[in-house]
Structure 1
Amino acid sequence: MTEQRRRATVVDVALEAGVSRGTVSRYVNGGHYVSSEARQAIEAAIRKVGYTPNTAARSLVRQRTQAVGFIVHEPHSVFLEDPNIGVIMLGANSALSTRDYQMVCLIVDSERDTDRVSRYLSGGFVDGAIVVSARDRDPILSVIERLGLPAAFVGHPPGITAPFIGIDNRGASAAITQRLMQTGRRKIGMIAAALDRDSGADRLAGFREALGIAYDPELVVRVPLYSFLDGAAGMRTLLERAPDVDGVVAASDAVAAGALQTLLESGRSVPRDVGLVGFDDSSWATRTTPALSTVHQPAEGIGRAAAEAVLEQIRTGDIGAGGLVLDTSIVWRGSA
């Protein structure tokens, strides 16, 4: 039986570097009051002896986990299908990694998940949280508020006091609806998704605002999720209600891609018979033929800003409020 190799310690590093154990500890815990000469010697010693910091022990000393939760309130299928969430997550992870923080991904897909994540947060396993797709009156929000946990929200669910990062969903939806109207469409419907959260509700509000007196509630089909399948089903319902519809605003690119499939299967030509627009400028927008006209939102920048907001709260201990609204733009492609 082979003997297990002993794990290198700060003592081994100190002996190899020719410095005190306290100097090595200061280096490992942030590098404060360590000279450049000592720093270089310690780094060389760490490489030579193969030292890896004991993060669990460091967390006990500093009362920090060096971890931030990335909480997504979506079914697993949407989490995997929606490239926007992935880009937001990568942006957040990029900002966290520069500060040596780990991201812990937590998916809330059921009441059981809500209970599990609530217990996890209450157990002190993360120093803060980034929350994506929070619903109105979401129980996770009350847990975060009760704990005083540093947090930032992607979007702006009602009643939150923590910082939020988002876009003007209402204004962007109104702008792309107006652009579709300018192409001469006269009977414009919407596949409105995710109305239990601020983004979906605001996109519907923007659509209604743009149409004004031309708004017809019968031309709005409400579907649960920002998903391809919901888009396809929603388009079938819209065609049953209004076979002569000539313009469609979809609440997301995934929804628009599903709608496009239904339109093509029904014999409609896009954009000749029906002009179609999406929202997000995700990879769905360029996968389709024709490519989707859509609203570009800076998903990576949203994720990065949310992480930075959480890190700032952790650093200062100030659980702030207020929000940051990032710019959007219309990207016009072949579908309209």
Structure 2
Amino acid sequence: MTGGAGDPRGARRAGARLEEVARAAGVSKSTVSRVINGEPYVSARARAAVLQAVARLGYRPNQAARALAGSRANSVALVVSERGGRVPADPFLAGVLRGVHGELARRRVELVLVLSGEDDPRDLVDRLCGGHVDGALVVAPHGRDPLPRALLDAGLPTVVGGRPLGASGLSYVDCDNFDGALRAARRLVSSGRERVATIAGPADTAAGVDRLSGWKRGLTRARLPADLVARGDFTAESGAAAMAELLARAPDLDAVFAGSDSMALGALATLRAHGRRVPEDVAVVGFDDLGAASTAVPPLTTVRSDAVGVGRALTRRLMAELAGEPDLPPFVLLPAPLVPRASA
């Protein structure tokens, strides 16, 4: 006799979580993930227990079918948590995309690009966990973006590009934004600048938060005030507007650290419009080392954030997890060295 709609023995809950499957099977979450994704290093007894729990709880039946068949989609999703119009215009995201594509192409794995800026996270989780991809790389998350955690809880191996704000247990790859910004602040302070401002990135991004924190640490260590802060959104237009705001607030400022090269280029334009010489009157340091930094007038001192390298490292970390490699680090931080040029 099979259970009816009101019989808990026959209930199938599409919203079952990875933790519930692990608890029902008496194994760890990582073991459940390996079984669902057809990975090795799982005993026959544990595999059978997981598959029974998957069937009983109705946990992502398409994913379970893949595990039962031992098949792979041989594709990886790159999920960009930005509105579609922003992506081609963002040089950093374009670099990450090149790095991911190059690494996957070398391994003959297909790349599936997904723009999630306006999607319902629940619908996206359903689509990505339907058996069409083996794992997901999520880049440009804002705030406490629920998508990476939802994908991981649904059993899809997931690595995040950029430190997730307020999230634990998520693997990620990032550049060392704090240390890079600290280096930028030290560069300005060591050159004798005393009224140092910053154009910080969005407060709902790890890059915006960590670069602002590094700048503040550099100034407080030098016993200088860290009160001249304006916000931008990593675009040149926002950098130009923020620079105008800072000049209105503090006409005596003699240096500015911009949290991205694009914002720094906008700041340079505003400084020229106000008759300020760079670096004689105001020194400027950016962050990212985009191609335009070296051709700016004057050439822009900046901090290198290797976007292509981040994309490659993201892909390698995910592929290692898919291969069942043990003891993988929870995060990878790439160095962010200072690149001195004429602007500071």
Coordinate RMSD, CA, aligned = 2.2
Q: Are 2:304 and 1:296 equivalent residues in the alignment?
A: yes
* Alignment partner, residue 20 of structure 1: none
Q: Are 2:214 and 1:230 equivalent residues in the alignment?
A: no
Q: Are 2:134 and 1:124 equivalent residues in the alignment?
A: no
The verdict on how the C-alpha distance between 1:78 and 1:334 changes in structure 2, with shifts beyond 3 A counting, is farther
* Alignment partner, residue 148 of structure 1: 155
How far off its partner does 1:125 sit? 2.2
* Alignment partner, residue 142 of structure 2: 135
- Secondary structure (helix, strand or coil) at the match of 1:134 reads coil
Q: 1:242 aligns with which of 231, 237, 250?
A: 250
- Secondary structure (helix, strand or coil) at the match of 1:81 reads coil
The verdict on how the C-alpha distance between 1:144 and 1:318 changes in structure 2, with shifts beyond 3 A counting, is farther
Q: Are 2:221 and 1:214 equivalent residues in the alignment?
A: no
Query: How far apart, in 2, do the equivalents of 1:71 and 1:87 lie?
Result: 15
The 5 A counterparts of 1:174-213 are 174-212=182-220, 213=223
Query: How far apart, in 2, do the equivalents of 1:155 and 1:317 lie?
Result: 22
* Alignment partner, residue 328 of structure 1: 336
How high is the TM-score relative to the length of structure 1?
0.76
- Secondary structure (helix, strand or coil) at the match of 1:105 reads strand
Deviations 1:21-70 (A, max 9, x none): xxxxxxxxxxxxxxxxxxxxxxxxxxxxxxxxxxxxx9996532211111
How far off its partner does 1:245 sit? 1.2
Query: How far apart, in 1, do the equivalents of 2:89 and 2:120 lie?
Result: 20
Query: How far apart, in 1, do the equivalents of 2:168 and 2:295 lie?
Result: 36
Aligned residues: 276
The 5 A counterparts of 1:36-185 are 62-110=70-118, 112=119, 114=121, 116-157=123-164, 158-185=166-193
Deviations 1:81-106 (A, max 9, x none): 22121112111111111221111112
Counterpart amino acid of residue 254 in structure 2: D
Is the 2:148–2:160 Cα contact (8 Å) retained in structure 1? Answer: no
Query: How far apart, in 2, do the equivalents of 1:134 and 1:283 lie?
Result: 24
Mean Cα displacement is larger for which, 247-256 or 142-151? 142-151
Query: How far apart, in 1, do the equivalents of 2:288 and 2:95 lie?
Result: 11
How far off its partner does 1:302 sit? 1.6
Gaps of 5+ in 2: 1-65
Is the 1:128–1:150 Cα contact (8 Å) retained in structure 2? Answer: yes
Counterpart amino acid of residue 202 in structure 1: D
Deviations 1:260-302 (A, max 9, x none): 1111112111111110010011123124211110011222222
Query: How far apart, in 2, do the equivalents of 1:194 and 1:145 lie?
Result: 26
